[in-house]
């Protein structure tokens, strides 16, 4: 029974990998591995108990084939999801790349890699961010970064996520408050898109 379940998970992982859903395929692969470990332990136990049991009756070739298939798939899926980031960011009309740089750093810790060539990417991420002054609060400058984000799945050839939001920043100067708002927008974007690219 566990062998059949593990084969089903491996097939689902394969199908997801073929459709470009590396993150979900990796999850299916990881779910199959403990089942396969149990199958191998059971086979070893049955071999020790019943010396007359044939490899075929214990499904040893089937298990070995599945083990090899999962190992190869895990190796392919271990390669990071590749993202091409396009960003247009301005902190009070001054071009910057604060959001993109901070976002890349955050996503890299989650296993993403980045490419300058959009044709080699699994996903294309577009970011537009502009700051605006909101006012003063307790002698501090309050600014917002208005952010527009879209995530495009290259393999499926469709947009999978779009959102617009404003991120607040507070600092002693208007420029510093804008910078803070831009920097704080990156983790918010990472949280919003993580289900698609992890």
- What is the value of pTM for the model shown? 0.65
**Rounded CA Rg of the chain:** 24
Confidence of residue 80 (pLDDT cuts 50, 70, 90): low
Confidence of residue 108 (pLDDT cuts 50, 70, 90): confident
Answer yes or no: CATH 3.30.160.150 is held by domain 82-197: yes
Q: Which among 18-27, 32-41, 126-135 has the top mean pLDDT?
A: 126-135
Separation of alpha carbons 65 and 60, rounded Å: 9
- Residue 1 pLDDT > 70, yes or no? no
* Segments making up each domain of the chain, as ranges: 2-78, 82-197
- Residue 129 pLDDT > 90, yes or no? yes
Task: Return the closest-CA partner of residue 90 out of 129, 132, 143.
Answer: 129
> Quick one: DSSP state of residue 79?
S
- Give the pLDDT score at 86: 96
Contact 39, 63 (CB under 8 A): yes
The two structure tokens encoding residue 6? 């593990």
Separation of alpha carbons 77 and 28, rounded Å: 11
């Amino acid at each position: 029974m566990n062998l059949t379940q593990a084969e089903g998970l491996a097939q689902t992982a394969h199908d997801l990998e073929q459709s470009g859903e590396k993150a979900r395929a990796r999850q299916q692969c990881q779910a199959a591995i403990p089942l396969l470990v149990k199958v191998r332990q059971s086979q070893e136990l049955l071999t020790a108990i019943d010396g007359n049991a044939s490899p075929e009756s214990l499904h040893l070739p089937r298990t070995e084939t599945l083990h090899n298939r999962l190992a190869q798939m895990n190796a392919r899926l271990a390669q990071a999801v590749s993202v091409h980031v396009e960003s247009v960011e301005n902190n009070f009309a001054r071009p910057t790349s604060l959001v993109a740089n901070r976002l890349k750093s955050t996503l890299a810790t989650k296993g993403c890699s980045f490419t300058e060539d959009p044709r080699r990417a699994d996903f294309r991420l577009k970011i537009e961010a502009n700051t605006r002054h909101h006012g003063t609060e307790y002698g501090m400058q309050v600014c917002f970064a208005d952010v527009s984000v879209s995530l495009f799945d290259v393999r499926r050839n469709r947009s999978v996520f779009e959102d617009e939001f404003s991120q607040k920043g507070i600092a002693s100067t208007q420029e510093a408050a804008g910078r803070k708002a831009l920097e704080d927008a990156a983790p918010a974007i990472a949280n919003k898109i993580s289900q698609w690219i992890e």
